[in-house]
Structure 1
Amino acid sequence: MKIVHIISGLGVGGAETLLLNLVLESRTGGDRHVVISLSSLDVMAERLRAAGADVKFLCMRPGAPNPLILVKLARWIVDARPDVVQTWMYHGDIFGGVAALLARLMFRVRGTRQKFALVWGIHRTEVPTPKVGRFLHSLARIGALTSNQMPDSVICCANASYETHVAYGYDPTRMRVIHNGFDVRKFVPDAAARAALLDALDLPSRSILIGIVGRSNPAKDYDNFLRAAALLRQRVSDCHFVMVGKDVDAGNTTLARRASELGLTGVCHMLGARHDLHRLMPAFDILCLSSRTEGLPTVVGEAMACGVPCVVTDVGDTGQLVGDTGLVVPPRDPVKLAHALGEMATLSLEQRKKLGARARQRIVESFSISVCWQKYREMYATLLRAKGVTR
């Protein structure tokens, strides 16, 4: 099966990571992938090429595209002769969807009997409002108005995403949920990781390492996390808070000032963006997610795969992901978040290890990338059979 993926860019994010993992997972089955980035952002490009994908860049400028760019994209689809065109996020869905319709027209004009399925991908929970971005809001609105005609199917990464988009006007008969999958071969428990991080931070062995991973963005609600951390320190003084993500470093004066105001100087360790999360995450005693909104957060699934118990806010499908292996609290409530972190922090190391083992087992059995890819491929095959194509 040959799949053309159309995505807004190849930066580092949850959707981009999922795309890479799907390409990696499908290598042994003989499936082929072409990845087309609408923008020039190419952080993930070499990793995708190394995984066997053909990567192209359309280099669109922000805003509405030049119609000739969409014609070029359609020609790339025609040249690839795909079985499936899989689009990612609103930009990819709409621009890729229009280009796919043009490609079908080009095939008919040429007299070529090439049939392919068009599948959209939605990777956020809340529909963007004009306040979030007028253009993004417009794309979501176009998606709602055309979802009953343009795509053959629409994949949502979470049940919460499905519900909000159906309520907004997306056609429920074409939508289905396929939860993100996690690389359980890369993200594994590592008994030596904790001691290594304690040594790197020059902390005593009795320290309890509470990690949080996410870019500096209001959606991640770092203020909620810091307020909870300040409350927790009053109860469990050995806690240290390891903060990882883009712009979460000493140069972020807003975060540093807030940590200082809350009396957290010396116990918040801002490590910035890291490309070795699979080595860093197993060092945490607890992973915290303090977000206001999520779909199915990648960092939680990866931490669970590393055997780390999680304390999370009840956003998107995060609670469903964690199940009974961690603790779930309402968003924007630092008191309840602090209480849950305290409950987890006061468990013995062995008790947390048992929870972590259950967390990994849950990911392996229900949320691994192999399970995810199998669901994608089965859906593709079903759509193609409906078109009279067998693969």
Structure 2
Amino acid sequence: MRILCFIDSLGSGGAQRQLVNLGIGFKERGHDVSFLTYHHEDFYVNVIINNAIKYTCIEEANLVKRLLKIRKFIRSGNYDVVISFLEAAVFMSEIAGFPFKNWKLIVGERSANPNIFKSVKLRLYRWCHFFADHVVANSHENIDIIAKINPLLPKSKYKVIYNMIDANIWAPSVRYIPNNGKLTNIVIVASHQYLKNLKGVIEGVNMLSIENKNKIHISWYGRKCVDGSYEEAQVLVDKYRLKPIFSFYDATSDILEKMQNADAVGLFSFYEGLPNVICEAMAVGKPVVVTPVSDLPILIKENGIICKSSNPDAIASALNSFLELNLDQRKEMGLALRRYAIELFSKEHILDKYEELMKSN
């Protein structure tokens, strides 16, 4: 099949990572795969080029001209399947298929943003799902949100397919040393946006006892966005004198090694689609400390620490609970999460699910 994967950019985000992984998987199965974006961010460009996948970026500042150029590109591409991720790309792919199309359109719903209910534009995007053949969400929470916004959309269009993880790559390291240096090392992988709740993490850490502050180190990997959250967080770190506890790094393509050497992986967002990084942490066999976003309570169950909410008190309580666990308890949590990850997120399982949709009538 000729498959077009369409997304805003090939930046370092979780949705981009998932679509790139899908594209590579389809290529390995013998499909003719191409990528289309409209912003030039090259974090994953070399990855797809090295896998002999074609790449086109249509950069156009004028929104109407951009839509028309992308519509023309898709309609003239002779594709069998178009898979689009993220709201604007999904919308443009749906408009490209109006009023008729001769390809199958699979659109992704990957965010549980509560502002969807307040925004006319975001609600309109979901009504355009009538033009898609399948709406794939990576959590049941996503499906519930879309069903509330667009109750007329047939349930037969909905499908939950979790994130794809190659458990042979995302695996524990034999070189991992628990509590290396007697510090509990927690890795957080998230871009710097208010919704990722760095401020809440800093406030929560500041509530820890001096004893527990001396037991923990947090390494945060992620690109800096333009909303000011990173700069405000640095002021807070200085104010509370927490510089010995926090280290901040740019996004890295070598995040696997960082996770393998961590004692736990954290995520403290206000809302998320299914967080890619937590799925990967599960596959690596790491215990996790997370807020109750998306399907994480269903997936993690008792094999991790789930904050009661995203407020600083709950974060402090969750961190304290994790610090109280002994090494055997942490290891058991990680092994259980890896078993779940292999069962739910395996590459072959996820690719099979997508191919079923591609071939369905």
Give yes or no for TM over 0.5.
yes
Cα deviation digits, residues 56-102 of structure 1 (max 9, x gap): 1121326333564145323xx433x2221112222112212222337
1:243 alignment partner, SS class: strand
Q: Is 1:117 the equivalent of 2:104?
A: yes
The correspondence of residues 78-227 of structure 1 with structure 2, limited to 5 A, is 78-79=76-77, 81-101=78-98, 104=101, 115-126=102-113, 128-129=115-116, 138=121, 140-148=122-130, 150-169=131-150, 171-173=153-155, 174-194=157-177, 205-227=181-203
Partner of 1:107: none
Cα shift at 1:125? 1.0
Q: 1:233 to 1:289 in 2, by over 3 A?
A: farther
Residue 71 to residue 310, structure 1, CA distance change in 2 (3 Å): closer
* 2:222 corresponding residue in structure 1: 245
Q: Is the 8 A contact 1:127 1:168 kept in 2?
A: no
**Closer, same or farther in 2 for the Cα pair 1:332/1:62, shift >3 Å?**
farther
Gaps of 5+ in 1: 105-114, 199-203, 387-391
CA contact (8 A) 2:71 2:93 kept: no
Aligned counterparts of 1:339 and 1:68: Cα–Cα separation in 2? 51
Q: CA deviation at 1:281?
A: 0.7
Equivalent-residue separation in structure 1 for 2:278 and 2:67 (angstroms): 40
Contact in 2 for aligned 1:127/1:165 (Cα 8 Å): no
CA contact (8 A) 1:183 1:369 kept: yes
TM-score (norm 2): 0.90
Whether the 8 Å contact between 1:126 and 1:161 is mirrored in structure 2 is no
Residue 120 of structure 1 aligns to a residue whose secondary structure is strand
Partner of 1:42: 42
- In structure 1, the residue matched to 2:32 is 32
Distance change (3 Å), C-alpha of 1:39 and 1:265: closer
Question: Take 1:167 and 1:71, find their aligned partners in 2: how far apart are those partners?
Answer: 29
Aligned partners of 2:10 and 2:145: how far apart in 1?
A: 26
Taking structure 1 as the reference length, the TM-score comes to 0.83
More displaced, 122-131 or 3-12?
122-131
Distance 2:305 2:250 in 1: 26
Q: Distance in 2 between matches of 1:141 and 1:253?
A: 32
**Gaps in structure 2 of 5+ consecutive residues:** none
Partner secondary structure for residue 325 of structure 1: coil
Q: What's the CA shift for 1:308? A: 1.0
Q: Is the 8 A contact 1:305 1:363 kept in 2?
A: yes
Q: Which deviations, in whole Å up to 9, do the C-alpha atoms of 1:229-273 show, x marking residues without a partner?
A: 22234352311122221139xx95422221232332312122232
Instruction: Identify the residue that residue 297 of structure 1 maps to in structure 2.
Output: 275
Where does 1:265-344 land on structure 2 (aligned, <5 Å)? 265-344=243-322
* 1:190 partner amino acid: S
Is the Cα contact below 8 Å between 1:7 and 1:87 reproduced in 2? yes
Structure 2 CA distance for aligned equivalents of residues 71 and 339 of structure 1:
50
